[in-house]
Structure 1
Amino acid sequence: DARQLRGLSQKGLGIAAGIDEFVASTRINRYEKGVHEANIVTAGRLAQALDVPLAYFYADDDNLAKMILTFSTLPVAQQNALLASLENK
């Protein structure tokens, strides 16, 4: 997942996203396990801390999440070329 790819602990991510350090680890753990869902503001802060698009958190499955993450790292010219290729199929 994005947090592990960035080498962040749950607490580290929570703190980077502005969550109080005393509850950061627990809150991130609950988000990751699906016990709680972050509101849009918190999700935006998490996305910013992880340098991923907000849409990454709302993907229906792991493959779509990977596609969103990979697509977002491409230069704009490659994104446009890929979109054009997909639209022509």
Structure 2
Amino acid sequence: MLSTPSSTATVLGRRMRARREDLGWSQEKVGVLIGIDESASRARISRYELGTHEPPIKTARLIAEVLQVPLAYLYCEDDDSARLLLALGTMSKTKRAKALALWLAEIA
């Protein structure tokens, strides 16, 4: 009997798919890049994206690394917060520190 996917798994799958499609990559490519055998990679990534299965944290870290996003982005349920995580995660450390300092000063 299959367990009902959690909302987090659904969020993770939705974010995985969106980012993969933004990069123009196939499910198979993502699977191979994280070390899944080519013959099973498309099916496994599909199950993660659909929320049928949730990847172990070690696998989720690999997925985030391959998709060039922070791990927290994949699990973030709030879309605005996820956009912020993605923006911060794709900046250089120097640029991120400056942006964060400006933002924190603005809301203080």
Q: What TM-score range do you get, normalising by the shorter chain?
A: 0.7 to 0.9
Question: Cα RMSD (Å) of the superposition?
Answer: 1.6
> Does structure 1 residue 27 correspond to structure 2 residue 44?
yes
Cα distance in structure 1, aligned partners of 2:27 and 2:43: 8
> Does structure 1 residue 86 correspond to structure 2 residue 98?
no
> Does structure 1 residue 8 correspond to structure 2 residue 3?
no
How far is 1:27 from its partner? 1.2
Question: Which has the larger displacement, 3-12 or 68-77?
Answer: 68-77
What is the count of residue pairs matched by the alignment?
89
Question: Which has the larger displacement, 39-48 or 49-58?
Answer: 49-58
Report the TM-score when normalising by structure 2.
Answer: 0.71
Name 1:64's counterpart in structure 2.
81
Cα distance in structure 2, aligned partners of 1:87 and 1:41: 32
Cα distance in structure 2, aligned partners of 1:74 and 1:58: 19
Which of 80, 92, 104 is residue 75 of structure 1 equivalent to?
A: 92
More helix by share: 2
Unaligned runs of 5+ in 2: 1-17
Cα distance in structure 1, aligned partners of 2:57 and 2:68: 16
Identity of aligned residues (%): 39
How far is 1:62 from its partner? 2.9
Runs of 4+ in 1 over 4 A off after TM superposition: none
Unaligned runs of 5+ in 1: none
